[in-house]
Chains A and B, each alone.
Chain A
């Protein structure tokens, strides 16, 4: 099956209209000596039922969170995705459309993204939001670019308690631009920034990768005192309860929007949230939707401030991003509308409650302790008497997924993250901790 509609007669008529004898003639500009000259070694084709069965078998080789009760966190969370969100965001008019370069035919995507931007401004406490980037790591990387451009500086002080994968992304993508990344230690769970002079930015998580809540206001004062920007990687689910990073003094707020109605998907497609203050609007990466009017004076939406972007500005663009994660932004727009202010608060309450119950119970297991004293939102670092990675494997045999283990951090081989979303129950928490007790005994 190749989804092409051509009949033999179609092909004959088309070739005739073109004025060639065979399809092969159309490829005459391609040098013969370089051509493949054989069929690709791919096998197939296959019928749809064969394809489905093959993919079904591959999927069944995974032990995913439909089979393990999920207490894993670390930047990806098992929140429930409402049917209305799947139905609305899954509409093919959103899914199978291109980038809205022709706004007259794209008012649906543009309108949904405009709503997304509005809601992200509310969650972050910022004045302007973009339409979304690849993921939290990409958003953080772009925030560093913005800060460097805004300050003319290359040094960036990054909290140790940032997702270690994100930090690796910063390192890989920052080398060619000569950024100097300085790690601020977080040995007690929250970050000790030390000397931030000459920095373009300070980067901190709220909550951070350990689940701990940082003193964002103090970080903002420190950054601004040194002429640096404060970049906060935030958790969109936390701000039903916690002050928004913007209120606390952040200049750029980034985050991972997977939790806003998007599937776990083994790490992607996810959604990079990026919002900032208006003074930085012209340094922002990627697409931004703006409201305007049409020739009749009727309201409508377009992509705006496009002179920042690669298709106009080329090598002087603020970023190279083109294709982004629009469908995930549409999904987040629907999800946040579904959630509403009460839902966001109740969901946060339940995450806090279940996570703290898990921490209380886990802390009572022999040889275990909650590693840090700092307050936490919906995940915490649990220290075990033995190797965390091995304990996680054993726990999976009992039907529970937690983690990740934290061997990426020095001296934390015995530590793991435990997270609880609103989908978990008190009974599940109690059972998981009981299981964990048996695993480490």
Chain B
């Protein structure tokens, strides 16, 4: 494989702005009495030239990144109805609290005695998550949802081994996120897929017949990725537990049920929470996230360590390192602490009443939008949904040659970010829509209007959809070419990799 020279990018890479001798940085000037690198380090280790970084002025770089940012959609630009992503408003106060120097300038090797506020925050956040999930204890080390999944499965693995019952398989519904099967393999297990039944729910009989003493457990998202609540969860839990298995809750869709029903009360043994979804830490264009894992009391000994604890006698917080059955560390330090500060800020702002409102209005918004669209588009499964719903463009494709991707791209022209498309895999031409609770009825009406206009265009003039988007900074991009002519770094025009 070789890499081709960069196409001449219109706004280009910052390297295209580079002029030898220009600079933005100011470094404290050399003080008398300081040894030089030449005196301190062996000559053989020193390089002659510096790495090729861009040479730009401060204004060059501020303009470059400002102009780049203007080519990006964000929650603060407009609605972002991506299913399963929970793109709600990220309150501004979170950035202020996370930036307090007592948090942002706290060094991770500082001992607990210097970090009492941070340990107190993690400890209190754990109490909040335990109450919300109905679990016993939690760890904040996992840096994102997938890291939480792996941590949870390793806890399940350690538990089964401690029981003297190593098992080799984990059950996953066919509607699951891709991280579930990928994680199962990393945890050393085999995947067995459970089909979705005609109602869009996990096939209970299939779970029953797949469960055995060899199955470590079942990973489930509830509500599932079709936006439907797994109403037979009690029976599913019974089927899993009766064979000694454990039930894993993928928290991707927790936004639908906060304060209404708790994973622990449904029978789940392990839960991960996507704080960058439900508890609205900003998604940063793809991260950082935070994926704490909460467990029931029988799994508590296996949580990653250390965990903050409170010495009731002295009122001081300390790191509990004495956890002999712990699966060990899963992060270089304590996880994405800065995101925990933001999520904590959110939870104490909302309180119990706010959290209850959150789920109610997320579900209200999704059902309202569904009701506006389901006469024109088809829902994958008719009836009430939870916080999201899945439409299918199957009919439009068959009758007018218009695909879910075309509809998605045309929405861009109408001023909206598209929904999640082609997921879940069990629905043909899927469009998965999650408006979240922070969008107003007026925004939902405008979004519905855009969808309805597109459906009309699909009949009258499908070419408009095939050619969309036309109002975005670039047109549809050639992903196949990006693979075929791999170019993942800037190179001077005319040079190869």
A171 at the interface (CB under 8 A from B): yes
Chain B residues near A336 (CB-CB < 8 A): 53-54
Q: Given that A62-B118, A266-B107 are known contacts, is A98 also in contact with B188, CB under 8 Å in the complex?
A: no
Nearest chain B CB to A347 CB, angstrom units: 5
Give Cα A297–Cα B202 distance, bound, in whole angstroms.
45
**Cα distance A340–B54 in the bound complex, in angstroms:** 6
Question: A64 and B348: CB pair below 8 A?
Answer: no
Q: In whole angstroms, how far apart are the Cα atoms of A396 and B106 in the complex?
A: 13
Question: Cα distance A113–B69 when bound, in Å?
Answer: 12
- Which of B101, B284, B368, B438 touches A59 (beta carbons < 8 Å)? B101
Residue numbers in B under 8 Å from A349 (CB-CB): 30, 36-37
Which residues of the other chain, B, contact A128 by a CB distance below 8 angstroms? 3, 488-489
Whether the Cβ atoms of A323 and B105 lie closer than 8 Å is no
Query: How many A-B contacts are there with CB distance less than 8 Å?
Result: 728
**Listed residue (B347, B356, B367) with the most chain A CB atoms within 10 angstroms of its CB:** B367
Q: Which of B82-90, B205-213, B239-247 contacts A (4 or more CB under 8 A)?
A: B82-90
Chain A, interface residues (CB within 8 Å), range: 35 or more
B350 CB contact (under 8 Å) in A2, A121, A346: A2
CA distance A43 to B350 in the complex (A): 9
Query: Given the complex of chains A and B, what is the CA–CA distance between A94 and B476 in angstroms?
Result: 21
Chain A min CB distance to B1 (Å): 5
In-complex Cβ contact of A353 among B36, B336, B483 (8 A): B36
- Residues of B close to A241: CB separation below 8 A: 37, 41, 46-47
A-contact 0/1 string along B101-136, CB 8 Å cutoff: 111111111110111111011000000100110000
Which residue of B108, B276, B348 is within 8 Å of A46 (Cβ)?
B348
User: What residues of B have a CB within 8 angstroms of the CB of A160 in the complex?
Assistant: none
**Would you give the shortest CB distance from A167 to chain B, in whole angstroms?**
9
Q: Is A441 an interface residue (CB 8 A)?
A: no
| Nearest CB of chain A from residue B23's CB, rounded to whole Å | 5
For A311, list chain B residues within 8 Å (CB).
Answer: 177-179, 423
In the complex, the answer to whether B364 meets A111 with C-beta atoms within 8 Å is no
Cβ A44 vs Cβ B154 within 8 A = no
Given A42-B351, A305-B486 in contact, is the A278-B3 Cβ separation under 8 Å? yes
* Interface assignment of B454: CB less than 8 Å from any CB of chain A: no
Of B87, B105, B350, most A-chain CB atoms within 10 Å: B105
Q: Residue of A at shortest CB range from B23?
A: A340
B93 contacts which chain A residues (CB < 8 A)? 48, 51-52
* In the complex, residue of chain B having the shortest beta-carbon distance to the beta carbon of A68: B114
Q: Is A437 interfacial (CB-CB < 8 Å)?
A: no
A338–B24 CB distance below 8 A: yes
Q: Check B231–A31 contact: CB distance below 8 A.
A: yes
CB distance from A371 to the nearest CB of B (A): 17
Inter-chain CA distance A78–B101, complex, in Å, is 12
A185 cross-chain contacts in B, Cβ below 8 A: none
A274-302 interface bits toward B, Cβ cutoff 8 Å, 1 = contact, 0 = none: 00001101000001111111111011111
Nearest Cβ on chain B to A52's Cβ, whole angstroms: 6
Q: Which residues of A contact B42 (CB under 8 A)?
A: 213, 375
Q: In the complex, A150 Cα to B482 Cα: how many Å? A: 24
Closest-by-CB residue of B relative to A103 is B477
A135 neighbours in B (Cβ, 8 Å): 143, 331-333
Question: B453 an interface residue at 8 Å Cβ cutoff?
Answer: no
Contact in complex: A43, B352 (CB < 8 Å): yes
Most A C-beta atoms less than 10 A away, residue of B15, B351, B412, B477: B477
- Report if A269-B338 is in contact (Cβ < 8 Å); known contacts: A45-B354, A278-B497: yes
| Residues of chain A lying within 8 A (CB to CB) of residue B85 | 98
- Residues of chain A within 8 A of B395, CB atoms compared: none
Instruction: Give Cα distance in the complex from A267 to B329, angstroms.
Output: 13
Is there an interface contact between B332 and A75, defined as CB atoms closer than 8 Å?
yes
Contact with A along B360-377 (1 / 0, CB 8 A): 110111011011100000
A310–B423 alpha-carbon span in the complex (Å): 13
Encode B332-359 as 1/0 by CB contact (under 8 A) with A. 1111111101001101111111111110
Cα–Cα, bound, A328→B339 (Å):
13
Our pick among A17, A58, A240, A265 for the contact of B371 (Cβ within 8 Å) is A17
A102 and B412 contact, Cβ closer than 8 Å, known pairs A323-B144, A357-B33: yes
Distance of A107 Cα from B12 Cα, bound (Å): 11
Contact B72 A242 (CB under 8 A): no
> Is A268 in the interface zone, CB < 8 Å from B?
yes
Residue B298, interface by CB 8 Å: no
Inter-chain CA distance A348–B347, complex, in Å, is 42
Question: Is B251 in contact with chain A by the CB < 8 A criterion?
Answer: no
Contacts A11-B364, A264-B108, A290-B483 known; A108 to B70 CB distance under 8 Å? yes
**Please, which residue of chain A has its CB at the minimum distance from the CB of B90?**
A96
C-alpha spacing A288/B1, complex, angstroms: 15
New A-B contacts (12) at CB < 8 Å, excluding given A40-B356, A96-B90: A44-B348, A45-B349, A75-B332, A118-B489, A128-B488, A243-B46, A263-B338, A319-B186, A323-B289, A340-B23, A344-B53, A353-B36
9 A-B residue pairs with Cβ-Cβ distance under 8 Å, sorted by A, are A30-B229, A43-B352, A62-B118, A84-B58, A169-B330, A292-B487, A323-B144, A343-B24, A349-B37
Closest 4 CB pairs of A and B: A44-B351, A267-B333, A59-B102, A327-B284
